[in-house]
Chain A
C-alpha cells in the first residue's frame, strides 16, 4: 500500500514537472501576468464555453511550459522579455448574456487587474464586454466572434483575429479568381440565395458586395422565410435568371427543399457555394445522398491544415486529453487557442504590462500563417483592429465527404469543376 502510494506520488511529481517545465530557469519573483477571459461557462452555450476554456488554458500552459512547437511563444517557459513571467488566465462567466458579459469584464479589470481581456464567443457578448475594456483602456482580443460590425465601431482597444462573415464571401470570389487563373473557367453570373434571418441576409449582403467588388453580375437575389415548406417560386426564380453559380445560405430542411428543387427543375450550374450550416449537417448529407456531390462549402478550420503546420495533430491530441477523450480540436477551439498565443506574443514584445505598450505591440503583430493552426495567411491587424490575413477554407463534397480544396497549399483533393450535371 505504502509503496504504491509512494509510486503514485513520484509519478505525479514527474508529470507535474514535465507540464510546468524547469522551474529553476524562472526568476522566483517573476510576477504572474493575468489575462482575463470572458466565456459562456453556464447557460445555453456552456458546452461550447467549456471547450473554449480548455483550449485557452492549454495555450497558456504551453506558453508557460518548455516544450516547443511550430507556434508563436510556445515552450519559452513564460514570457522571456518579462523575466519568464508566467501568464495566468482568470475566467469569468458571461452566461452567454450581454449584460453578464459586461459585468464579467468589469470584474476582471477592477478586481483581478487583468492586463488584457480575451473572449467571448457570441458576438452580442463580445460587443458589451469590449466596450468595458475600451472605457478602461485595456486591450481586448476577440478570437471567435464573426459579426462583421464588431470591428466597425471605431474602438481603439479592440482586436479581432478571426475572419468575419464578410471574409467567407470574399473567399469564394478569391477561389473563383484562382480557378480562373489555373483552370481558365468562365463564371460571370451569380445567384444569391438565402433564408431571410440574420444568417442568410448577412451572408447574402456580403456575397452581393463581393460580386460588385470582384466584377460579377448578380443574376438574382432570393430571400425566403427559413420555415417555408415549399420553394417552388424560389427555384423558378433561380432557374429563369440562368446563373453560372449559386451562393446559398440555408438550414437543413430548406437546403433539402432547394437541392431537390434544383434537381427536379434541372437547374444545372457550374457550382453551388454553401455557407456551411445546413449543407454540412450529417443529416442533410444522409438524406440527400449522392445528389449533393460537388457542392462547395466554407469552413473556418480543418485537420487538413496539418499539411501546413505539423503542430495541428499534436495540439489536437493534447486538447482531446484534456476534454475527456473524444472531443477533437475544431474551428472554435483552435481559434481560441491561437488567441491566447497572440496576446502572449504581444505582451512579451511589449516587455511591459502597461496597457499602452501592449496595444502598441498588438498593432505591430505579424505572425506568419504557417505558425498558426488556422488557414490564414498571417495575423496582422488593420486600422480597425481586424486581422487582415484571415481566411476560411473551401471544401467540396467528393465521394460523400467534404474534402479541403482551397487554399491550394492545404488542399487534399483537386477541385472537381464544374459540378456534375443532374442525372434523371
Chain B
C-alpha cells in the first residue's frame, strides 16, 4: 500500500514536471504571437506556417552543416525579413480594409504557404541529422528530455527579452501606443506603418527562433506548424491581450491541464480541461488572466 502511494506520488511529480515543460514549449511558440496578436491586435492565422517555414530553414541549414543552435540567429534574422516583407506587401493592405480582411487574408496565406511547402518539400517528415541534447536529465525519480528543457529555457529567454523590449524601449512603447489608439499614435508623430512592420518582423523573428529550437525534438512537415498554432492562439487569449507575461502563465497552465487531464481523465480528452478553462476565462474574465483591457 505504501509502495502504491509512493508510486502514485512519483507519477504525479513526473506529470507535473512534464506538464510544465510542455507548457514552456507552448509558450515558445506563442511568444511571437503575443506581440502580433496580443499587443498589436493583428490576427495572423498563418502564425503556424511561419513556424513551419522556420523549421524548414533550420533543416536546410542543418543539411549544410549548421546545427539548430548555431543556425538559430540566422533563422531568426531570415524570418524577421520575411515578416517585414509580408507586412509591407500584404498585411498592410488587409489592415486598410474591413476587420474580416485580416482574418481571411492571413487564412489564405496559411493555405498558400502549406501548399508551397507541400510542393517544394513534399509531405515527408524530416528531422535534422544528429541533433544535440538527445539525452535525459534525471532529478530523483523525474526524467526530463534535455531537448525539451532547452526549448523551455529558450521560451523563458525569449519571453523575457520581448517583455523588456515592449516595456522599456522607445519602439516598444510606440508599439503599445499604436495598439491602443492608431489615430492618436499617428497624431503623436508615430509612423504607424513602420512600427507595425517592425512588430510583425519581430514577431516573425521570435517564431523563427522557436522553429529552430523545436527542430531539436520534432520533425518538420507542411502542416507541422498547425499542430502548435491552435494552442498558441488559446494561450494568448487565455493569458490576456496585451500581456506578454500573461501568455507565459497561460502556457504553463495549458501544459499542466493537458498533461494532468490526459492522465487522470483520459488521453483522448486531454484538450477538454484546456478548452473548459479557456471558455471559463472568456465568459468570466474576457480580458484574459493578466489582460489590461
Say yes or no for A149: interface residue by CB 8 A criterion: no
Which residues from chain A contact B258 at a C-beta distance below 8 Å?
Answer: 230, 233
Give the nearest-CB partner of B263 in chain A: A233
Contact with B along A219-231 (1 / 0, CB 8 A): 0001111011110
Question: Are B127 and A233 in contact, CB atoms less than 8 angstroms apart?
Answer: no
B174-227: which have CB < 8 Å to A? 217-219, 221, 224, 226-227
- Given A227-B227, A281-B125, A424-B136; A196-B15 close (CB under 8 Å): no
Which residues from chain B contact A253 at a C-beta distance below 8 Å?
Answer: 125, 218-219, 221, 224, 227
**B14 touches which of A230, A234, A236, A284 (Cβ 8 Å):** A236
Which residues from chain A contact B136 at a C-beta distance below 8 Å?
Answer: 263-264, 424
A363 to B189, CA, bound (A): 87
A283 to B125, CA, bound (A): 6
Question: Are B219 and A233 in contact, CB atoms less than 8 angstroms apart?
Answer: no
Question: Are A230 and B25 in contact, CB atoms less than 8 angstroms apart?
Answer: yes
Question: Are A229 and B228 in contact, CB atoms less than 8 angstroms apart?
Answer: yes
Say yes or no for A260: interface residue by CB 8 A criterion: yes
Which residues from chain B contact A287 at a C-beta distance below 8 Å?
Answer: 127, 219
Say yes or no for A184: interface residue by CB 8 A criterion: no
Q: How far is the CB of B178 from chain A (nearest CB, A)?
A: 32
Contact with A along B275-290 (1 / 0, CB 8 A): 0000000000000000
**A232 touches which of B126, B129, B218, B259 (Cβ 8 Å):** B259
Question: Are A233 and B261 in contact, CB atoms less than 8 angstroms apart?
Answer: yes
Which residues from chain B contact A424 at a C-beta distance below 8 Å?
Answer: 136
Say yes or no for B143: interface residue by CB 8 A criterion: yes
Question: Are B259 and A228 in contact, CB atoms less than 8 angstroms apart?
Answer: no
Say yes or no for A5: interface residue by CB 8 A criterion: no
Question: Are A229 and B125 in contact, CB atoms less than 8 angstroms apart?
Answer: no
A232 to B259, CA, bound (A): 6
Give the nearest-CB partner of B131 in chain A: A287
Say yes or no for B99: interface residue by CB 8 A criterion: no
Question: Are A233 and B7 in contact, CB atoms less than 8 angstroms apart?
Answer: no
Interface on chain A toward B: helix, strand, loop, or mixed SS? helix
Chain B interface residue count, Cβ-Cβ cutoff 8 angstroms: 38
Give the nearest-CB partner of B228 in chain A: A229
Say yes or no for A237: interface residue by CB 8 A criterion: yes
Say yes or no for A265: interface residue by CB 8 A criterion: yes
A363-412: which have CB < 8 Å to B? none
Say yes or no for A4: interface residue by CB 8 A criterion: no
Question: Are B22 and A232 in contact, CB atoms less than 8 angstroms apart?
Answer: yes
Say yes or no for B32: interface residue by CB 8 A criterion: no
**B219 touches which of A223, A228, A234, A252 (Cβ 8 Å):** A252
Question: Are A236 and B145 in contact, CB atoms less than 8 angstroms apart?
Answer: no
Which residues from chain A contact B218 at a C-beta distance below 8 Å?
Answer: 229, 253, 256
Question: Are B15 and A232 in contact, CB atoms less than 8 angstroms apart?
Answer: yes
Q: How far is the CB of A292 from chain B (nearest CB, A)?
A: 13
**B262 touches which of A196, A234, A260, A263 (Cβ 8 Å):** A234
Give the nearest-CB partner of B224 in chain A: A253
Say yes or no for A240: interface residue by CB 8 A criterion: yes
A14 to B15, CA, bound (A): 73
Q: How far is the CB of A263 from chain B (nearest CB, A)?
A: 7
Say yes or no for A135: interface residue by CB 8 A criterion: no
A-B contact count (CB 8 A): 93
Give the nearest-CB partner of A235 in chain B: B18
Which residues from chain B contact A225 at a C-beta distance below 8 Å?
Answer: 268, 270-271
A300 to B261, CA, bound (A): 38
Question: Are A229 and B127 in contact, CB atoms less than 8 angstroms apart?
Answer: no
Q: How far is the CB of B114 from chain A (nearest CB, A)?
A: 14
Question: Are B267 and A237 in contact, CB atoms less than 8 angstroms apart?
Answer: yes
A248 to B9, CA, bound (A): 27
Give the nearest-CB partner of A265 in chain B: B143
- Residue of A229, A240, A263, A283 with highest tally of chain B CB at under 10 A: A229
Say yes or no for A212: interface residue by CB 8 A criterion: no
Say yes or no for A153: interface residue by CB 8 A criterion: no
Question: Are B267 and A233 in contact, CB atoms less than 8 angstroms apart?
Answer: yes
**A236 touches which of B11, B219, B268 (Cβ 8 Å):** B11
Q: How far is the CB of B179 from chain A (nearest CB, A)?
A: 29
A236 to B261, CA, bound (A): 12
B98-141: which have CB < 8 Å to A? 124-127, 129, 136
Which residues from chain B contact A181 at a C-beta distance below 8 Å?
Answer: none
Which residues from chain B contact A284 at a C-beta distance below 8 Å?
Answer: 125
Question: Are A283 and B260 in contact, CB atoms less than 8 angstroms apart?
Answer: no
Question: Are A228 and B227 in contact, CB atoms less than 8 angstroms apart?
Answer: yes
A233-292: which have CB < 8 Å to B? 233-234, 236-237, 239-240, 252-253, 256, 260, 263-266, 281, 283-284, 286-287
**A230 touches which of B126, B144, B219, B259 (Cβ 8 Å):** B259
Question: Are A286 and B261 in contact, CB atoms less than 8 angstroms apart?
Answer: no
A224 to B227, CA, bound (A): 14
Which residues from chain B contact A224 at a C-beta distance below 8 Å?
Answer: 262, 267-268, 270
Question: Are A229 and B227 in contact, CB atoms less than 8 angstroms apart?
Answer: yes
Q: How far is the CB of A198 from chain B (nearest CB, A)?
A: 14
Contact with A along B28-65 (1 / 0, CB 8 A): 00000000000000000000000000000000000000
Say yes or no for B231: interface residue by CB 8 A criterion: yes
Which residues from chain A contact B68 at a C-beta distance below 8 Å?
Answer: none
Say yes or no for B246: interface residue by CB 8 A criterion: no
Say yes or no for B71: interface residue by CB 8 A criterion: no
Which residues from chain B contact A196 at a C-beta distance below 8 Å?
Answer: 268
- Residue of B7, B15, B18 with highest tally of chain A CB at under 10 A: B18
Question: Are B145 and A264 in contact, CB atoms less than 8 angstroms apart?
Answer: yes
Give the nearest-CB partner of B223 in chain A: A227
Question: Are B125 and A227 in contact, CB atoms less than 8 angstroms apart?
Answer: no
Which residues from chain A contact B221 at a C-beta distance below 8 Å?
Answer: 252-253
Contact with A along B8-19 (1 / 0, CB 8 A): 000100110011
- Apart from the given pairs A223-B266, A234-B267, A237-B263, 6 other A-B contacts in the complex at a CB distance below 8 Å: A224-B267, A225-B268, A232-B15, A240-B11, A264-B136, A283-B126
| 23 sample A-B contacts, Cβ–Cβ < 8 Å, listed by A number | A222-B267, A223-B268, A224-B268, A224-B270, A225-B270, A228-B270, A229-B22, A229-B228, A230-B22, A233-B262, A234-B267, A236-B14, A236-B15, A237-B267, A239-B11, A240-B11, A252-B221, A253-B218, A265-B143, A266-B143, A283-B126, A283-B219, A287-B219
Q: Which residues of A contact B (CB under 8 A)?
A: 196, 222-225, 227-230, 232-234, 236-237, 239-240, 252-253, 256, 260, 263-266, 281, 283-284, 286-287, 424
